[in-house]
A = this chain, B = another copy of it.
Amino acid sequence: MTQDTNLTIKQVADATGLSEHTLRYYERIGLIHPIDRANNTHRRYTEDDIGWIDFLMKLRATGMSIRDMRIYAHLQRQGDATLPQRVEMLKKLQCEVEARMSELNANLNLIRYKIQYYGEIVESRLANVSPE
C-alpha cells in the first residue's frame, strides 16, 4: 500500500502546473526517470519526483533547453560522481542568465525611457487641446 500514498499523474499535474501530457512527454524523453507504477500501469509519483520536476521547471525558466536538461538529468541519475560536470553546467548557466539579465535590464531602461518620452508628448498634446 506504500504506492497508494504516492501521487497520481493528475495530482502532479495540478501540483506542478504541467499538463499530464507534458509529464508523460518529459518522462518519455528522459527528463524524468521512469516513474514507479501502481497496478503495474498507473504512475505513482513520490515527493522526490515532485522536487525534481520543480527543479526542472526552474531550469526551464532560466531558458535551459530540453536538450541540456536531458544531459543534466542523465548526469544526475548517475549519482555523485557526476557532480563536477553538473557544477560546470550550472556555472555556464549562471553566466548565461547573468548576461541575459543585464541585456534585459538595458532593454528595460530603453522601454522606460520611451514610455517617459512618449508620455510627455501625449501629455503636452492634451494640454494644448483647447477646452470646449
Contact = CB atoms under 8 A, between A and B. Distances in A.
A22 interface: no
A36 interface: no
Given A58-B110, A87-B118, 13 more contacts: A61-B104, A62-B107, A83-B118, A84-B122, A86-B118, A87-B115, A90-B114, A97-B107, A97-B108, A97-B111, A101-B101, A101-B105, A101-B108
Interface residues of A, number: 32
A116 to B, nearest CB: 9
A94 B112 contact: yes
A50 B108 CA distance: 20
A71 interface: no
Contacts of A111: 62, 90, 93-94, 97
A115 B118 CA distance: 44
Given A80-B121, A83-B122, A87-B115, A61 B103 contact: yes
Interface string A58-91: 1101100000000000000000100110110011
A34 interface: no
A98 interface: yes
